[in-house]
Structure 1
Amino acid sequence: MTTTTALRSYRWFSMPLLLALTLQQRPARAEDPLARIVNGLSFDQFIQKTLQDYAVPGAVVVVSSAAGNVFLKGYGVRRSGEAAAVDGNTRFQIASMSKFIAATAVGTVVDRGIVSWDAPVRTFSPNTALAEPYASQYVTLRDFFAHRTGLPAYTGDLLNQLDYSPAELVHRARFVQFDHSFRSKWAYSNYGIFLGQESAARAAGMSAPQLLSTAMLLPLGMIRSAPTQAELFKDDNRATAHNIDGSIMPYENVDKFSGAGAIVSTGSDIAQWMTMLLAAGTFEGRQVLTKETVTQIFAASMVQGAGGPLHDPNDSAGLGCESYHFLRWRVIEKNGALNGVRTIVTLIPERGIGIAIFANKQLTVFPEAVRAEFLERELGPSGQDLQAQIHEEQKGWNAILDVPQPPADAKPLTHDLSAFANRYVSLVYGPLTVVHNGASLAVKIGAHDFPAKLSHWSADTFLLTFENPDIAPGLLTFTFKEGEPGATGFDGSTVPNALTVNYGHFDRAE
């Protein structure tokens, strides 16, 4: 699934009034949904209660309209056990919300006529290629940003940790074998978003982070936002990452994949970007995106399946976002998760209003709970107990951290552990060394020995796992040839469940 030095202030909400964290007034309306008392609670009181219910240390909630800010408030603390409060200028990693912003940045290059959503990427980025020749010939930016290229879901995420250059990351994509046909289904791919953004940025003569900054963040006056993790550390007003149990956990660095998840931003900054989209691409009288490009980004480009609070069966991928219906209204949304942070942004274009929520806790459904309450207050009661449903969904988010367990009928090893220790190589990931440490096997991947470990699964198959829970595990089945010492390679194509990925084929390095 996050440095800009030339900062420019365009708007009043970078002023001390915002730094003091005030609640902005909504424009006068016959009935204000956010001021309405529902079940004895105002919207602000609901947020405070829900923060406590999910034991979230801190959060920021912003409601923005086509005319500007409606509601902006910080809740709780930046770091558990300390007094410093979250406010509208507290920096958060926004995780996969970055994909939505990346799509808008690429949209500016579309508007300039340098690239097109639907022209083959090879026409402006000939170095971008995929494993299937037909896909290489016809893949478009729409395919990459709507997750319909044929790349397996989540495959390639490990590459973000291996210190390859952007050019090398583009080159290695051609070795990732498809697990379904081009454009046949939706499969979430951080690697695919990177490839799309990188291709468009290079066509415009920029790096992917430069495109994010110069095309979107700076023009909107997002002065505390940047496309790399380093922005977090510009001052102390940043959200600390907290684990499920409330303990502090390390920040996750996904800079290599840029707009797939690396942007750092604040509630006040993201409000400016939301306002631009809700105003059909204009901001303070300036056109940032054409109305047509905003429409294309929001458009349904690939059915994903049931989604949204009401489980719309035609939930669809847009470009860096998704869309579903809530009652009769079409909703545009993107959520995100990295170590110790959850985010969501939800827009209702027909109503010209939207909400964004950032929370500094691992895999919490707090953002979805607040979003659902907002939708019911703004659009009307759903007729369902959405809060109970979302509370139940927390179990599914927690399950992401569960390590897959060996089958009940697991077979014993057929070789000594020492037979697996060797140096292997993959066209996708590069070198991988298996090290025998007494009763266990450790793994070092890439030129800088990124660590992992192997645990026995069954026979000559091992489970590959990482300290970072956001890097999916995989099953590696080792092969042996008679008369040769040690394993000759391994295959990672067996995927027992949705929480594991295919790491492809590795051969023994000669």
Structure 2
Amino acid sequence: MPGRIHPLRSAVALALALSGGVACAAPPENLDARVEQVIHDIGIPGMAVTIVEDGKVVHAKGYGVRRLGSPEPVDADTIFPTGSTGKAITTAALAVLVDEGKIGWDDKVTDHLPGFQMYDPWVTREMTIRDLLVHRSGLGLGAGDLMFVPRSSLSRAETVRRLRYIKPATSFRSGYAYDNVLYVVAGQLIEAVSGKTWEQFVRERVLRPAGMNVSTTDDASRFATANRVQPHARMDGGMRGVGTQEVLDERRSLGSNAAPAGGVSSSAHDMGRWLSIQLAHGALPEGGRLFSEESSEQMWTPQVLMPIHGYPGPLAATTPQFSAYALGWDVRDYRGVKVIEHGGAVFGVQTMVVLIPEKNIGFSLQINSEDGVALRGLQYELLDHYLDAPKHDWVSDFAAFRAGNVDKAKAALREAKVDAKPSRPSLTPAQYAGRYSDPWYGPIDITADKGRMRIDFKQTPDMAGTLSHWQYDTFKVAWDDRSLEPAYVTFNLGAEGKVERVTMKPVSPLADFSYDYQDLLFTPVTAK
């Protein structure tokens, strides 16, 4: 039981003290009450919290409900989609292949995927497996995400093939820009080397050997599990993330082609197994190894510096002195201690995983909503607890910071509406209509019926909406699915007065970066 004196734990504590380390404390005494207060105050339907100390799970518990309006509680076996925290799972799958001698971290990707191509032939030749994992490819932030956000009909192989059409934003290995699409390549590489799909390989060679027995890698298995959360979001307050909490359609989520970037679902109990194995550098609690200590060292070794954007005012203490990306993990400092962490979000669900190797402590926080201020706040409250720092209400500070950003975004939307110029479109609706295509996304259809214009993203199921005039030749799309981010659609005319290209950008200043509308460039498709 947490807090109970154990002879072996006492011996470990003594050894740590003699070596200059600090013995692990028990979880906060008021942890249950604090979590209950946070989910009540923030308005989160449900949460799961896991804490591991000295290789032992000392806390794994659910709070709240799986779905608003339903009584079923979240417990320690309730599964949550874990989003980008699954990048470390894909990295572990690659580590298994590295340990078997089937691949090397610095192998060229084309050694194992001969058809792989980036936009630049030189980058294609030089790209290594390590490069796939560390966000230094030269692609822009979230480039290509619309191939699987919010969902997709594309296969994983076709998604990888289309990478060759995405223009880089910077030179190769010159800096950090978070992407998901190269983890899709990593998943395809695992299949090419192992002969098994990413889903099969991760399930059989990572999750089950790790003892993560309720975790899933595919939607079919997740939907077949009764004890799962439903996603929630706020959508009626003028922009996504503001307003009343609503239940989302769980089947309208991230495309399965992107599962290697964030398709694992897991529970509090299973996260305890994962945290224990990570802290043990790949060793399994019962003996044996999931991956080697050498691979563990590779996973946690910083590879590329991440920009540091300091928080203002009360949050300044959370600004790190260094921040870097390793293989599927963020590495940074807090109060002089190195922290290994990663956040994850699938629309309507969020997760945070945190490791403090120096203290041999790890914890995870999962919620079935998009209220990330709770995750960030509780993360720092737990860090303070284990680093013997004074108690502080970080949840309230992050909530206030978020509220300030929302106020600024609302003001920007009001200004945009006021600044919109009274004007008329250059063409009739029928003259805008047609099929257009972007090299990496693919086709969209613009249709006109009785003066009503519609847009349909053909490879994103149910991503269709109505266009209303905004100003000049720019229209605003209101998607039929209210959970999708609205966008501006601008028709650019040539000298002959016909549409030559179509561009887009998000309406909301707080839109998720995965809605990379700004990277699209549609041109008319000539009928054959």
Q: Same fold per TM (> 0.5)? A: yes
Aligned to 2:18: none
Q: In the alignment, residue 490 of structure 1 is paired with which amino acid?
A: V
Cα distance in 2 for residues equivalent to 1:288 and 1:197: 18
Cα distance in 2 for residues equivalent to 1:420 and 1:34: 65
Distance 1:176 1:470, change over 3 A: farther
Question: Which residue of 155, 159, 169 corresponds with 1:169?
Answer: 159
Distance 1:82 1:259, change over 3 A: same
Give the 3-state SS of the residue equivalent to 2:116 in structure 1.
Answer: coil
Residue 446 (structure 2) pairs with residue 434 (structure 1): yes
Residue 360 (structure 2) pairs with residue 352 (structure 1): yes
Aligned to 1:249: 248
Question: Which residue of 294, 298, 313 corresponds with 2:296?
Answer: 294
Cα distance in 1 for residues equivalent to 2:163 and 2:391: 46
CA contact (8 A) 1:478 1:490 kept: yes
Give the 3-state SS of the residue equivalent to 2:89 in structure 1.
Answer: helix
Cα distance in 2 for residues equivalent to 1:203 and 1:446: 32
Listed as ranges, the gaps of 5+ residues in structure 1 are: 1-21
Cα distance in 2 for residues equivalent to 1:35 and 1:89: 20
Question: Which residue of 463, 469, 473 corresponds with 1:460?
Answer: 473
Cα distance in 2 for residues equivalent to 1:401 and 1:299: 37
Q: CA deviation at 1:132?
A: 1.5
Question: Which residue of 336, 360, 379 corresponds with 1:371?
Answer: 379
Q: CA deviation at 1:385?
A: 5.8
Q: In the alignment, residue 442 of structure 2 is paired with which amino acid?
A: G
Cα distance in 2 for residues equivalent to 1:448 and 1:345: 30
Which one has a larger percent helix, Structure 1 or Structure 2?
Answer: 2
Task: State TM-score, norm by structure 2.
Answer: 0.83
Q: In the alignment, residue 509 of structure 1 is paired with which amino acid?
A: V
Residue 525 (structure 2) pairs with residue 509 (structure 1): yes
Aligned to 2:220: 230
Listed as ranges, the gaps of 5+ residues in structure 2 are: 14-22, 235-243, 312-316
Distance 1:392 1:305, change over 3 A: farther
Q: CA deviation at 1:196?
A: 2.4
Aligned length: 484
Residues 57-109 of structure 1, C-alpha deviations (whole Å, 9 max, x = no match): 11110012452311111111112222221111011111221112111122212
Aligned to 1:320: 328
Give the 3-state SS of the residue equivalent to 1:286 in structure 2.
Answer: coil
Aligned to 1:180: 170
Distance 1:468 1:314, change over 3 A: farther
Distance 1:60 1:498, change over 3 A: closer
Give the 3-state SS of the residue equivalent to 2:499 in structure 1.
Answer: coil
Give the 3-state SS of the residue equivalent to 1:305 in structure 2.
Answer: coil
Cα distance in 1 for residues equivalent to 2:484 and 2:135: 19
Distance 1:180 1:326, change over 3 A: same
Give the 3-state SS of the residue equivalent to 2:381 in structure 1.
Answer: helix
Give the 3-state SS of the residue equivalent to 1:197 in structure 2.
Answer: helix
CA contact (8 A) 1:479 1:488 kept: yes
Give the 3-state SS of the residue equivalent to 2:448 in structure 1.
Answer: strand
CA contact (8 A) 1:241 1:339 kept: yes
Residues 434-480 of structure 1, C-alpha deviations (whole Å, 9 max, x = no match): 12245543211235764233454543234566566886666544233
CA contact (8 A) 2:485 2:508 kept: no
Aligned to 2:34: 46
Q: How does 1:333-348 map onto structure 2 within 5 Å?
A: 333-348=341-356
Aligned to 1:144: 132
Q: How does 1:125-140 map onto structure 2 within 5 Å?
A: 125-140=113-128
Q: CA deviation at 1:427?
A: 2.2
Cα distance in 2 for residues equivalent to 1:291 and 1:406: 57
CA contact (8 A) 1:78 1:360 kept: yes
Q: In the alignment, residue 390 of structure 1 is paired with which amino acid?
A: F
Give the 3-state SS of the residue equivalent to 1:288 in structure 2.
Answer: coil
CA contact (8 A) 2:51 2:363 kept: yes
Distance 1:455 1:102, change over 3 A: farther
Task: State TM-score, norm by structure 1.
Answer: 0.86
Give the 3-state SS of the residue equivalent to 2:247 in structure 1.
Answer: coil
Q: CA deviation at 1:229?
A: 2.2
Residues 280-303 of structure 1, C-alpha deviations (whole Å, 9 max, x = no match): 111021111111211111111111
Residues 234-286 of structure 1, C-alpha deviations (whole Å, 9 max, x = no match): 23211122223232111224321012121111111111111111001110211
Cα distance in 1 for residues equivalent to 2:268 and 2:387: 23
Q: CA deviation at 1:136?
A: 1.0
Q: CA deviation at 1:312?
A: 0.8
Distance 1:336 1:72, change over 3 A: same
CA RMSD of aligned residues (A): 3.1
Distance 1:34 1:143, change over 3 A: same
Distance 1:408 1:397, change over 3 A: closer
Cα distance in 2 for residues equivalent to 1:438 and 1:401: 35
Distance 1:99 1:400, change over 3 A: farther
Aligned to 1:86: 74
CA contact (8 A) 2:24 2:53 kept: no
CA contact (8 A) 1:62 1:72 kept: yes
Once the two structures are overlaid, the 10-residue window that deviates more, 235-244 or 82-91, is 235-244
Distance 1:358 1:447, change over 3 A: closer
Once the two structures are overlaid, the 10-residue window that deviates more, 429-438 or 164-173, is 429-438
Q: In the alignment, residue 374 of structure 1 is paired with which amino acid?
A: L
Cα distance in 1 for residues equivalent to 2:422 and 2:257: 39
Q: In the alignment, residue 288 of structure 1 is paired with which amino acid?
A: L
Q: In the alignment, residue 113 of structure 2 is paired with which amino acid?
A: S
Cα distance in 2 for residues equivalent to 1:496 and 1:463: 12
Distance 1:411 1:317, change over 3 A: farther
Cα distance in 1 for residues equivalent to 2:139 and 2:366: 29
Distance 1:56 1:506, change over 3 A: same
Residue 227 (structure 2) pairs with residue 214 (structure 1): no
Cα distance in 2 for residues equivalent to 1:505 and 1:274: 43
Distance 1:164 1:265, change over 3 A: same
CA contact (8 A) 1:305 1:313 kept: no
Cα distance in 2 for residues equivalent to 1:24 and 1:243: 37
Cα distance in 1 for residues equivalent to 2:95 and 2:488: 39
Aligned to 1:56: 44
Aligned to 2:287: 285
Q: How much identity, in percent, do the aligned residues show?
A: 25
Give the 3-state SS of the residue equivalent to 1:312 in structure 2.
Answer: coil
Distance 1:457 1:185, change over 3 A: farther
Give the 3-state SS of the residue equivalent to 2:195 in structure 1.
Answer: coil
